[in-house]
Amino acid sequence: MNQPKKIRFKYRIKYTKGPELRFVSHLDIMRVFQRAVKRAKLPIEYSHGFNPHQIMSFANPLSLGMTSIGEYCDVEFTTGVDTKEIKDRLNAVMNDGIDIVNVTKMAQDAGNAMASISACEYEIYFNELMDKETVGKYAEAFFNQKEIITMKKTKNNYKETDIRPDIFELKDISDDECGKLMVVLAAGSIRSLRADLVAENFCRFAGVEFNKYKVRYRRNDMYRELDGKLRPLDEEVDIR
Amino acid sequence: MDKVFIPDEILLQVDKPARYTGNELNMVKKNPEDVDIRFAFCFPDVYEVGMSCLGLQILYFFLNRREDTYCERAFAPWTDMEAAMREHNIPLYTLETFTPLKEFDFVAFTLQYEMCYTNLINMLDMSGIPIYAKDRTEDDPIILCGGSCAYNPEPLADFVDFFYLGEGEVEYDHILDEYKEHKKNGGTRDEFLYKLLEIPGMYVPKFYDVEYNEDGTIKSFKPNTEKAPKTIRKVVITEMDKVFYPEKMLVPLIETVHDRVTLELFRGCIRGCRFCQAGFVYRPVREKNYDTLIKQAHSLIDASGDDEISLVSLSTSDYTCFNDLANGLLDDFAKDKVNISLPSLRIDAFSLDLMQKIQEVRKSSLTFAAEAGTQRLRNVINKNLTEDDILNGCALAFSGSWERVKLYFMIGLPTETEEDLIGIADLSAKVVDKYYEIPREKKPRPVNVVASSSCFVPKPFTPFQWDAQDTYQEFAEKAKIVKSHIARKQIKYNYHDAKLSSLEGVMARGDRKVSAAIYRAWEKGCRFDSWTEEFKFKEWMESFEETGVNPAFYANRKREFDEILPWDHISVGVTKAFMINERKKAEMAITTPNCREECSHCGAASFGGGVCFESAKKNKV
């Protein structure tokens, strides 16, 4: 006879990472969340191993220096808690620079954020490197290339790679402040592309010298594929 | 001046940029426009070390509880960040508001160990503040120092405007009130420093003159103004349950040395180990009561979300209600998966039982601070720990399935002979033997004993303050002797770098003349001297040579009891007569009972509180 399956109380937390915490690494952000959950006195579930740890997992790590308005963290509680209450209690104790924007109850069989992810959306700010006219002039042509061959870092060395298939979307969103691009890039264990590599190639295409310290990035959201479409990680996660 | 701006170009290239950006949990935010006094609390070492300092946490919140004061923090930038800041002409700034240190009213340094002195100079220089006190003008902040190394302030006396001797909670309000008044009246620096002479515990070097004998010893040390007290006596809190303690602590965003909240059980130590400066300068022992501690523990955990609370004191097991407290905290916190960490525990049946409870699976190694290899030498240093204590403790631990033991020793202690050195190897071997006494089936893994020896550094305000330190060559020879007697493969022997200890010996007992060598060493690029990879021994030796400072005079010379010591104008409450008596007893290997067994009339009772009056209190009840 089958044992009745244990009901798990899993929640997906969507949060932002502001400029105040730009230089705090992914690993340290995880520790920030572990502490915040305890300050909020939420009923976090612990692993049952020799060295119990909070059951908490994060989606794609954000590079040092980037901000984000669409980060995700999955947690498991020992009991059900109202999603608005989770959000309010976390926001009440959270470090400056992190804002919980949404909490969704996850379906029992929903995959974790890390495993589900297939794309990330970024905004690239070229600041003094490129104004809106330059970006406007090259954006469409860059995206319309059949292939974009560049040196991409693999485990041990660099390899010539075509990154064009991993750019799902690219739009000029420049304003008077500076030249800006919105890009949707492959992410996940099989294919993934870093936003700075796109920025570098775009600069080269536009004949502008790339300077990695002048360009800034903001992650807008992370997506999974549902019925052939890219959907934010917290959409329909309560259903499937 | 505007806020300091650190370009991404710098932050993306230096190691651990979050050291330099602040914004930690519980960081105090105030509008600098709204306060009268701006106070920069500086730790002359890297961020992760400084943020683990309990004194910083206490004083940060203590000073910030005043509405008229904004206390902010600065740490020594690591060498990569220093290079970048110098290249871009960025001055040293505080993490709270990115304000250059030069803009502050006070720039305060805490001195936790001697080998940070070049960092202090470097931080002043990076702030554009004149390094020598005499060169500062009305536009410069007032530079002050506190902390345990301030008890011999002389090596830094030329660089610092005043030293605060004692516990910060006692006189800071007084100082800041005076300063506010002084600032309102448009007074000068000198007027303020003069005013400080009225406040207990304040040492203002410029109001004292030193004369030297031809042999370099001190001929006289005198105030040059009537108002300056001949002796400056440290200030201490007597009511530990009433004194301010922060309800929350700064929680760093990156991992630090001690990544946990700390609960201070008591100040001082009853033991009186003769090598230990802390054991004398923090007398008398003053405890917090059980209820105060449980309450503070809860508020600290609630405000941090930390999963570990560390009970700190010089000798945690000596807390009078230790059993109750440990069990009380375990009861309260086990369900929330909060660990209790207990540094400096004496190993006995109770503490082992407790350790079993708190670290059910992850067993760290057990540590015994034996300090010396023979009972005779342990008596000399008044280390109240016998071979039986150690071996019985190990036997208990081994049957409780610990198999890693660490033994700490010192070499170069006064009266040490070859027998004492061989004793280190022998005692380590006996620990291994103890392991093989227990039945075979109970010891699945091989035993692992790590014996470490550090080099003895005689410190001011200890009975050994008159003793000669070994030279680094002698230390190396002695370590070799120990090593040659270690035969068992289960024992690993480590010894510390003697060169660093010999330099520490100079700083610890230095006088005002040593400052020239410190300055020169800084000019030659010495920084972070306590970090092995940064320590530049050759540059230090050149600096001594070039400034005519003979390091052996300070480190390796035996003083007579009647010599005027550079720190004689400072009183920690313990009398010199007591120290001399202790030194004489040491020579005869006679021990002194601890403060709870019997009062030895050291002088600390004059503060009017703590352990000195415990029995009186009990008698009353």
What does the pLDDT average to over B477-499?
A: 94
Confidence at B334, pLDDT banded by 50, 70, 90: confident
Residues of chain B with C-beta less than 8 angstroms from the C-beta of A23: 11, 17-18, 20-21
Domain ranges of chain B: 8-233
What CA–CA distance (Å, rounded) separates B43 from B49? 9
User: Tens of pLDDT along B36-53?
Assistant: 999 999 999 999 999 999
Cβ of B304 within 8 Å of Cβ of A95? The answer is no
CB neighbourhood size of B349 (10 A): 11
Do residues B461 and B151 lie in contact, with contact meaning Cβ atoms separated by under 8 Å? yes
Question: What percentage of chain B carries pLDDT values higher than 70?
Answer: 97
**Binary contact (B255, A96; C-beta < 8 A):** no
Q: What is the pLDDT of residue B1?
A: 57
User: For residue B2, what pLDDT band results from cuts at 50, 70 and 90?
Assistant: confident
| Residue from A20, A21, A22, A23 to probe the interface with B (highest B Cβ count within 10 Å) | A23
What would the pLDDT profile of B431-463 be if each residue is shown by its tens digit?
A: 999 998 888 777 778 889 999 999 999 999 999
- State what percent of residues in chain B have pLDDT above 90: 82
Q: Is the pLDDT of residue B346 over 80?
A: no
User: Nearest 5°: CA angle at B473, between B117 and B534?
Assistant: 35
pLDDT confidence of residue B361: 41
- For residue B339, the model assigns a pLDDT of 85
Domains of chain A: 9-115 (3.30.70.580), 118-226 (no CATH)
CA dist B47 → A22, B27, B54 (Å): 18, 15, 13
Contacts B304 to A, Cβ<8 Å? 35, 39
CB proximity A52 to B under 8 Å: yes
Beta bridge partners of A57: A74
User: How many whole angstroms separate alpha carbon B38 and alpha carbon B41?
Assistant: 10
pLDDT reading at B401 higher than 80: no
Judge whether A64 is closer than 8 Å to chain B, CB to CB.
yes
Which tokens belong to B552?
A: 């052996």
How far, in Å, CA of B536 to CA of B524, rounded? 9
A96 touches chain B (CB under 8 A): yes
- Using the Cβ of A220 and the Cβ atoms of chain B, whether some distance falls under 8 Å is answered with no
Q: In the predicted model, is pLDDT for residue B475 greater than 90?
A: yes
C-beta neighbour count of B49 within 10 angstroms: 21
Q: How many residues does chain A have?
A: 240
CA distance B115 to B136: 25
Mean pLDDT of B416-439: 94
| Exposed/middle/buried for residue B326 (C-beta within 10 Å: 0-12, 13-18, 19+) | buried
- Decide: A185 and A192 in contact? Cβ < 8 Å: yes
**Average pLDDT for residues B228-237, to the nearest whole number?**
98
For residue A231, the one-letter residue type is R
CATH T-level topology, domain B8-233: Rossmann fold (3.40.50)
Contact B23/A52, CB-based, under 8 Å? no
The answer on pLDDT for B125 being more than 80 is yes
Contact criterion met (CB < 8 Å) for B307 and A39: no
**Helix/strand/coil percent split, chain B, to 5:** 40, 15, 45
pLDDT one digit per residue (tens) for chain A, 240 residues: 566 778 999 999 999 999 999 999 999 999 999 999 999 999 999 998 777 899 999 999 999 999 999 999 999 999 999 999 999 999 999 999 999 999 999 999 999 988 899 999 999 999 999 999 999 999 999 999 999 999 988 778 888 999 999 999 999 999 999 999 999 999 998 899 999 999 999 999 999 999 999 999 999 999 999 999 999 999 999 888
What pLDDT is stored for residue B617 in this prediction? Answer: 60
Q: Give the one of A24, A37, A50 whose C-beta lies nearest to B18's C-beta.
A: A24
pLDDT at residue B621, rounded to an integer = 42
Q: Decide if A213 and B9 are in contact by the 8 Å CB cutoff.
A: yes
Given an 8 Å threshold on Cβ–Cβ distance, is B307 in contact with A50? Answer: no
Out of A21, A34, A65, the one facing B23 most closely (by C-beta) is A21
pLDDT digits (tens, 9 = 90+) for B178-232: 999 999 999 999 999 999 999 999 999 999 999 999 999 999 999 999 999 999 9
Instruction: Say yes or no: A23 contacts chain B, CB-CB below 8 A.
Output: yes
Give yes or no for a contact between B39 and B63, defined as CB atoms under 8 angstroms apart.
yes
| HEC sequence for B524-564 | CCCCCCCCCCCCCHHHHHHHHHHHCCCHHHHHCCCCCCCCE
| Averaged pLDDT of chain B | 94
Beta strands in B188-298 (DSSP E): 202-203, 208-212, 218-223, 232-233, 261-264, 266-267, 286-287
Q: Is the pLDDT of residue B618 over 90?
A: no
